[in-house]
Chains A and B, each alone.
Chain A
Amino acid sequence: MTERPVLSVRDLEVEFPTRRGVLKAIDRISFDIARGEVLGVVGESGAGKSLTGAAIIGLLEPPGRIAGGEIRLDGERIDNLPREAMRHIRGRRIGMIFQDPLTSLNPLYRVSEQLVETIRTHTDLDARRARERALALLTEVGIPAPEQRLDAYPHQFSGGMRQRVVIALALAAEPELIIADEPTTALDVSVQAQIIALLKKVCRQHHAAVMLITHDMGVIAETADRVAVMYAGRIAEIGPVRDVVARPRHPYAKGLMGAIPTLATDAPRLMQIPGAMPRLNAIPAGCAFNPRCAAVFDRCRRERPEPVAIGASEVACFLADAGGGR
């Protein structure tokens, strides 16, 4: 390690106490995000991607809680900070972008008001300066005629434009890390690529690292530096995007990558993984993926595989060395 990572997550556990016992939604995950790096996070619905993001930014909804592990931002622990201290980190040092730009903005406030409010919460700028800054941000995220649009209401923008505003808001106080939770899922296909490109561009300009949660493998392949594959609250495989996408080692990652339609083959190689991800109250012992795994063997049912380093990747599979058992 040459440089201290922006974000460092170690053995993070998130759980929900319920009447029928405690559900463990995130089970001992560890990963780093380097300064300026884009980490893609993929995995089936319910794998725990959004929860990981919420845990990092300190917005788990009760009764959800961090049950173990630690989260460090720039080396400083942030998972046990008092409320008020954590609030100063949100927006200022970690920004967040949600899925649906249509509902992320308060419909009753002008875009300028929401930008200025955010800027002034985290900086000492006076109202006039904050407004100038807001205008600069809108220009930067590519809103046409920003002087005229600054005082418009959210409903006067299209979906794509609104997501640009959301990106401007997330960047308003120059955070070191942006967590983008499926930032394009709710958008029209035609603007998805633009938004991703914009996100990547502005984050690079502001030297912000990105944790990009998405279902879109194409986006990952194009945008991410590294990628983490999550399954049932655990990280199955994490590594440089080239390795994980081209040569996945974990059987689940293989299945997932197989699901990307490629131009190389005629028919989309929609490789199906039989079965479905287990519910939180029925995660099997050993490897969580074992009931669906083609290469399953005894040990997988008894013992949980810990991530092992293979090249620049880490893979949580007993057969990782052997290339995932095939």
Chain B
Amino acid sequence: MTPFAADREPGLIARALDSDVWHSFTRSPVVVVAAILTALLTLSAVFAPWIAPHDPTDLAKLDLLDSRTPPLWLEGGDKRFLLGTDNQGRDMLSAILYGLQISIGVSVLAVMLAMTIGVTAGLVAGYFGGWIESAIMRVADVQLTFPAILTALLINGAARAMLGNKSVDGAEFWVLVVSIGLSFWVQYARTVRGSTLVEKNKDYVQAARLIGIRPLAIMFRHVLPNVLGPVLVIATINLALAIITEATLSFLGVGLPPSHPSLGTLVRIGNDFLLSGEWWIALFPGFVLALLALAVNMLGDWLRDALNPKLR
């Protein structure tokens, strides 16, 4: 028996399965709809290559003669293209499915990056204190003065300047992940630091220190599990933000290129044809994007209230 097991609060999993949370979930129909929607969109993203009727990344298969075909139910629709095509003759439905995959991929990875950086920074700051803490929290304060989207844009621009003109294939994807990830870490760091300060003085941590367990081990094995609840909440809320940020960056033309479009890139492409009346190129991806962001947002809201009503 470890001397400190008894002191620990129930971990994340135990709490997540706690009946209260489950109850509040099943009792609000809106949340159930949001969850189903999120699941559906995620599944379509994951299985895009199998569901999509065409391969939008294969430029060789595109035919400019097909370009700007309206959706099936409008005059001039083509039964090969349910939701019409874009300016390069790309099937919108397929492009949206692949775009969804990229959007979700970037956002999830960015949130994971932000979480890793933020949690580590918070743990280190809270556990070691002193000048390390001051330095980390000062940086966090300054960064917090700026809206995340600006930070992401700046990091993005800096990355572009460093990569110079040599375009590395797929670099845009990772540049996006890093720039979004780096702009969202502060909130995790602040939360985790706060909880760490509290945990660090508890008996079990002191006991662990006394029997000579190394600080890193203490932090990750004993302090971390106790701060995971709020971290999970922040992550869910951040996911919606990351989705929107990714889409915005791509829309601004500093995200994913038209050859590998995310939902935001698709809207950007469509924006040029809005004035000439070809609305479907911009509005269909926009609609899916809005749906995704809304569903994830509602899940985040619900999770926050369910896990910690006081956070409201």
Q: Do chains A and B touch in the complex (CB under 8 A)?
A: no
